[in-house]
């Protein structure tokens, strides 16, 4: 096998080891815990509950996602930049998950998804999406499909799947992709950085 130069000895298209478990939180309707290498994410799903009056009447349900970093999560998102990163990730999480939930079967209701990154080890958004999808399924909500996600970064012209924190920091560009495997539909494609021919 060609020398890829990855610090942990993985191939360019090799994932880190995954651990996932659902149904851990007592109060949440559905929950999941995901470990992707060093990245640790916990998600709790609540609802469906009645929509707020100010959101108006809606024939289909709504998904409200929130991502938070624990104070001890570490990583490149320092305390000052955390809230901006959290807001962007919350919007991306909603975009990735909403098409996978059969929301028209839940009129006038809201489903809350709360994701917390316990430790940043690279690929936090992809981990949040995958874990949240499992949490939605464990909550018994009707889904079109599960929505797993992954991240690819470009470091010195090389494409690396499932980057660690160090690899993500060195990256010129990154793509996070979330898709529904049964029908091959992409729900989120977030491209950042420099991607040139």
Q: CA-to-CA distance for 106 and 158, rounded, in angstroms?
A: 44
- Tokens 């909500």 belong to 141
The count of chain residues that interact with another protein, using the rule CB under 8 A, is 32
Q: CA-to-CA distance for 44 and 26, rounded, in angstroms?
A: 10
Q: What is the CA radius of gyration of the chain?
A: 17
**54: three-class secondary structure by DSSP:** helix
Q: Are β-strands 62-69 and 109-119 bridged in parallel, bridged antiparallel, or unpaired?
A: parallel
Report phi then psi at 34, rounded to 5: -130, 135
Which range in 55-63, 70-78, 151-159, 188-196 contacts another protein by CB under 8 A? 55-63
Q: Please, are residues 33 and 118 in contact by the beta-carbon 8 Å criterion?
A: no
Nearest residue (CB) to another protein, 92 versus 106: 106
Q: Per rule CB under 8 A, is residue 146 in the interface with another protein?
A: yes
CB of 21 to another protein, least distance (A): 14
Six-digit token string for 66: 């929130």
Q: Per rule CB under 8 A, is residue 37 in the interface with another protein?
A: no
**Site for another protein (CB under 8 A): which residue of 32, 51, 90, 120?**
51
Of residues 73-102, those binding another protein (CB under 8 A):
100, 102
Q: Per rule CB under 8 A, is residue 44 in the interface with another protein?
A: no
Site track 158-197 with another protein (rule: CB under 8 A), x = hit: ----------------------xxxx--------------
Distance of CA 74 to the CA centre of its chain: 18
- Tokens 């998950």 belong to 97
**Site for another protein (CB under 8 A): which residue of 8, 14, 142, 169?**
142
**Site for another protein (CB under 8 A): which residue of 106, 115, 127, 128?**
106
Where does this chain bind another protein (CB under 8 A)?
Answer: 29-30, 46-51, 53, 55-57, 100, 102, 106-109, 137-146, 180-183
């Amino acid at each position: 096998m060609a020398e890829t130069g990855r610090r942990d000895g993985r191939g360019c298209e090799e994932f880190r080891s995954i651990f996932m478990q659902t149904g851990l939180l007592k109060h949440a309707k559905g929950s999941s815990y995901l470990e992707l290498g060093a990245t640790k994410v916990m998600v709790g799903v609540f609802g469906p509950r009645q929509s707020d009056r100010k959101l108006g009447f809606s024939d289909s349900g709504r998904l409200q996602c929130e991502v938070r970093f624990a104070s001890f999560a570490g990583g490149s998102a320092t305390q000052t930049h955390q809230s901006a990163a959290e807001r962007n990730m919350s919007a991306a999480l909603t975009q990735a998950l909403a098409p996978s939930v059969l929301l028209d079967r839940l009129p006038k209701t809201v489903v809350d998804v709360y994701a917390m990154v316990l430790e940043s080890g690279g690929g936090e958004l992809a981990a949040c999406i995958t874990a949240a999808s499992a949490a939605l399924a464990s909550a018994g909500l009707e889904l079109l499909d599960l929505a797993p996600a992954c991240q690819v970064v470009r470091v010195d012209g090389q494409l690396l799947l499932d980057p660690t924190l160090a690899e993500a920091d060195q990256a010129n560009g990154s793509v996070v992709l979330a898709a529904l495997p049964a029908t091959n539909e992409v729900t989120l494609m977030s491209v950042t950085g420099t991607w040139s021919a």
